[in-house]
Amino acid sequence: MNKQTIDQVELSGKRVLVRVDFNVPLDEGKVTDDTRIRESLPTIKKIMQAGGKAILMSHLGRPKGKKNPDMSLMPAAVRLAELLGRPVTMAPDCIGDEVVKVVNAMQPGQVVLLENLRFYAEEEKNDPEFAKKLAKLGDLYVNDAFGSAHRAHASTEGVTQFIKPAVAGYLMQKELEYLGKALANPARPFVAVLGGSKISGKIDVIENLLGKVDAILVGGGMAYTFYKAQGGEIGESILESDKLDLAHELLGKAESSKTDLILPPDSRVCDELKSGVATSVSASDKVPSGKLAADIGPETEKLYAAKILAAKTIVWNGPMGVFEIDEFASGTRKVAEALVQATKAGAVTVVGGGDSAAAMEKFGLAKEVSHVSTGGGASLEFLEGKQLPGVVALTDA
């Protein structure tokens, strides 16, 4: 990464405007998963210990440009204060005279959290005037919100036009290092495990990885569009009929590339997607009429685990089945467990955010792999080979 980092700038006495990703789940005003807050601690602590003033900004949920008390960042401020063991001042807003007063009253080592950026529609519109108001709050800018780096918003891209230097925080560095190294200079064999319900969400990833990885292991609902494209019987399994030609084309591209595109040979099938339902195993291209596939089968689990354990670099994005329902969590769990074993054997294992990260948390395995990304959409776009606006906007090293 040829961008300046937080270690290359003077922080003492400076107002440090930090974009964090505190878009955390809430229940009755309490944070139910503080992973993203914990991941931001090294950057925040660095600023505090260096005698800087940490002014944090984030979005939460989708308030659609209107102030909504249910989407206040106050619960995140409370949790952050608990984790730091120090007070965190909650600003009344993210821009305006009152916020300026709060920032001006800060002492070195103190932390202020601004209110939800998305209470203003100008944030997502990347409005220059809004970005300028944010920039006025800091002497320098740190982006530590990888989960929002794929969005060109006022707080991720626009603000960098008005405040320099704009540098990467520790979480941003870690994300780019793991994902970047995996793609640019991987130890081989290099295996990508791609799941999720739809091909449409993974087309660009598959196309970008063909020729770069040694194998792509396909799971989740998107496998059945591939099978249908080959003339298979998929019963009531998820199908994107408008993507059949594309699926056929991708299979052809894979055949002429150095990458093995491997589809699941068997699947767990059922009559309907619900807890407690009876399941059976079927060949993935011979799903009985009236049945639908909801997870990879035991043969696929063994095959995929063997491929993962033989690899030196593994990137995983997307579950193997409907893991939220216990009857269909086995495939995703077995992939997660294989990743843990591969990590112990010395492989670099990167889990690309979103549902895969949620699965790792559910199985209690998130700490057992090399890296779990905090950014679902951002990690996906990185794997697609796209440039992330929030990264591009940072000051060159």
For residues 187, 316, 333, 285, the Cα torsion angle rounded to the nearest 10 degrees is: -110
Please tell me which residue in 196, 201, 235, 354 is annotated as part of the active site: 354
Please tell me which residue in 61, 109, 232, 377 is annotated as part of the active site: 377
Q: Judge whether 300 and 267 are in contact, CB under 8 Å.
A: yes
Instruction: Tell me which H or E stretch contains 78.
Output: helix 74-84
DSSP letter at 159 equals G
Please tell me which residue in 198, 253, 312, 362 is annotated as part of the active site: 198
Q: Please name the amino acid found at residue 365.
A: L
Burial of 114 (0-12, 13-18, 19+ CB in 10 A): buried
CA-CA distance, 339 to 353, in Å (whole number)? 15
Q: Judge whether 351 and 339 are in contact, CB under 8 Å.
A: yes
SS3 state of residue 98: helix
Please tell me which residue in 19, 36, 212, 268 is annotated as part of the active site: 36
Distance of alpha carbon 65 from the chain centroid = 24
Strands 280-283 and 266-270, sheet pairing: antiparallel
For 77, phi then psi, to 5°, come to -65, -40
CA-CA distance, 69 to 59, in Å (whole number)? 13
- Catalytic, 133? Answer no
Assigned token pair, 207? 């196309």
Assigned token pair, 184? 């640019």
- Catalytic, 36? Answer yes
CA-CA distance, 335 to 342, in Å (whole number)? 10
CA-CA distance, 132 to 116, in Å (whole number)? 17
Cα-Cα-Cα-Cα dihedral sign, residues 59, 60, 61, 64 = negative
- Catalytic, 375? Answer no
Burial of 218 (0-12, 13-18, 19+ CB in 10 A): buried
- Catalytic, 354? Answer yes
Residues with catalytic annotation? 36, 198, 354, 377
